[in-house]
Structure 1
Amino acid sequence: MMKESSFYTKLYEGNSSSEKPVKCNLCGRMCKISNEGLGFCNTQKNIDGKLYSLNYHRMASCHTDPIEKKPLYHFLPGSSTYSIGGFGCNFSCLNCQNYMLSMNSYDEFNSTQILPETIVKNAINDNCLSISWTYNEPTLYFDFARETSLISHRENLKNAYVSNGYMSEESLEETVKFIDAFNIDLKFFDDRLYREICGGKLGIVLDNLKIIYEAKNKYGTHLEITTLLINDLNTDEDHIRSICNFILEELGEEVPIHFSRFFPMHKMSDESPTKIDYLLRAKEIAIDMGMEYVYLGNMPADNNTYCPNCGELLIARERYCNSDKNRIKDGHCINCGHKINLIFE
């Protein structure tokens, strides 16, 4: 099943060109695609001068997870989320942990056709409070995700994107209207590394982070950020400070950040796992600079949520499970009254 894409421009007039090229406006790559050609992501195809999404109503993977696994620590804590994803990506990360999905493409055998109503039903049956678009880049699912989200909202289910943040501005302005929470990978604070490791541009991700953050005032959109630390690429103190400075100056100190440990994968399988000391130091720097909520991933760590004002334990976590969430009342620390950036419903 295919659907005509919501974001593309015809680069021809009438039948004046046998190639009938189009420009995909879905993500920051803005691919120019000839007739019968595919975009970089392998999910958008030009068929006789019209762009179609090959992944419409198609999934490759679905699983019920703790919401903290996304990771989203400040959005519906302690709840389950129905995680779905498929094939394709608009990045080409050398260290991709889901490369078997992101670097692959659809065929009639490797995916399942599924209706939005079925996804919503499955989420409800599994006692989930949300649906997470994850595993591969959710930007590529715009039409499917919007349709599913609108149905799920009528059933009081939230929707989350786990994304590289490389949407076009045009598609993101629409996405924030129906996606309730984002965890965005801010992979590096260096445009050269973005180009060499991921095949993208830092500036587009930074601009999109600002759009998502600003959507909080209009739509209540929640944002968390993840940075995967890789030895000697983005682990030096200046790099960590640059990431934190951007968040503090352009977003807000209340935005949770997750520093995650890299493990050898895909085309970086010869690299070593990130040194634990680098992650501990990154957390220390972020807190010292004024970041209110800093967490470490892919390693044993204290990932409880504390009040950034008085230090009161607000949410205790052991792995992904929350054992206590009674220290927040009406969005404020019960001890000192500090406003806590956390969504329970």
Structure 2
Amino acid sequence: MLVNSNLYKKSSKSQKIRCEICANYCKIAEGHFGVCRQHKNVNGELFDESYGIVSSLSPDPIEKKPLHNFMPHTFTYSIGGFGCNMTCLHCQNYTISQEYDKNSRSIKINPKTIVDNAIRYGCKSIAWTYNEPTIHLPFNKETSLLAQKNNLKVIYVSNGYFSQQSINEILGFVDAFNIDLKSMSKDFYKKVCGADLDVVLDNLRRIHIEGKHLEITNLILNDYNDSVEEISQLCDFVVDELSADVPLHFSRAFPYYKMNDISPTNPEILYKAKEIALNKGIKNVYLGNI
């Protein structure tokens, strides 16, 4: 599938093209892919090689996303793909985001079938989840617009690493977001996730300003982002730059992928995080994976 020309730029000096779908802004040589391994330079044009290819389809309680304050007690039709625009060492879904065999595990599906499935299962929304949805922007945009025509809401469960170009499009068809704010440390984002914290914070501000429903998840790892100081800093960001009305989810991490040496997050840290958040004035605080 050829990507819309406003989401990439051609170079006048080389055969490389600059993908502008996410904040990596990959410069892709002819015949090669970007970081996400889904977008390819073919004869100087950007192609989405994963259009209509998904890894998983499932009706889920909306609280599983997690969204606790958006259409509670309803089901959402969850769609997952392959790949990611971050390289998190602790990825909890690494078998579809980082290390995967798309040829043997993929499901080919079209937007109408997804919408029909959601309606048949009695879902009130569709959710782009399990892996980073931004990297499948052409497919999830077409599907989402069709879903909305059929009175289904659209959910993005995302790391928030949007480009300026893509967030402009995404805000046009997404009704609710859960954004994974992994840490308030730039060093953590750079070394553990291969990304830039400031981009995520800017996109959170933009989502809030645009009036979209927003919930935030913070996956806490022992000895990495579990200090009282960092948890307090994250809560201060929510209260001071977003709103105390934004629900905050603290979630327990387990040893996965390239962080098999860590231990499962101490539940006492999550209870402490919830106490901090409530004391900061955040109105809705939830704990996950405990």
TM bucket by the smaller chain?
Answer: over 0.9
User: 1:3: Cα distance to partner?
Assistant: 2.9
Does residue 3 (structure 1) correspond to residue 17 (structure 2)? The answer is no
The structure-2 alpha-carbon separation of the partners of 1:112 and 1:137, relative to structure 1 and needing over 3 Å to count, comes to same
Conserved 8 A contact 1:84-1:131: yes
Secondary structure at 1:210 match in 2: helix
Does residue 237 (structure 1) correspond to residue 236 (structure 2)? The answer is no
Does residue 264 (structure 1) correspond to residue 255 (structure 2)? The answer is yes
RMSD (CA atoms): 1.2
Does residue 137 (structure 1) correspond to residue 132 (structure 2)? The answer is yes
User: 1:107: Cα distance to partner?
Assistant: 4.6
How far, CA to CA, are the matches of 2:3 and 2:244 in structure 1?
A: 40
TM-score (norm 1): 0.82
Conserved 8 A contact 2:39-2:47: yes
Conserved 8 A contact 1:58-1:112: yes
Partner of 2:32: 37
Conserved 8 A contact 1:22-1:50: yes
Of residues 158, 180, 201, the one that matches 1:163 is 158
User: 1:235: Cα distance to partner?
Assistant: 1.1
- Give runs of aligned pairs for residues 1-345 of structure 1, distance below 5 A: 2-6=1-5, 7-12=7-12, 17=14, 20-104=15-99, 107-216=102-211, 221-299=212-290
Larger radius of gyration: 1
- 1:51-93 Cα offsets, whole Å, 9 max, x none, are 0111111111111110000000011100111111111100111
Conserved 8 A contact 1:183-1:223: yes
How far, CA to CA, are the matches of 2:76 and 2:261 in structure 1?
A: 33
- Specify which structure has the higher proportion of helix: 2
Stretches of structure 2 lacking an aligned partner (at least 5 in a row) = none
Q: What amino acid sits opposite 1:293 in the alignment?
A: N
Determine what percentage of the aligned residue pairs are the same residue. Answer: 48
Conserved 8 A contact 2:2-2:45: no
How far, CA to CA, are the matches of 1:106 and 1:84 in structure 2?
A: 17
- 1:264-288 Cα offsets, whole Å, 9 max, x none, are 1111112111111110010001100
Conserved 8 A contact 1:55-1:106: no
Matched residue count:
289
TM-score (norm 2): 0.97
Conserved 8 A contact 2:145-2:173: yes
Stretches of structure 1 lacking an aligned partner (at least 5 in a row) = 300-345
- 1:85-128 Cα offsets, whole Å, 9 max, x none, are 11110011111011010014675443122110000000001110
How far, CA to CA, are the matches of 2:273 and 2:55 in structure 1?
A: 35
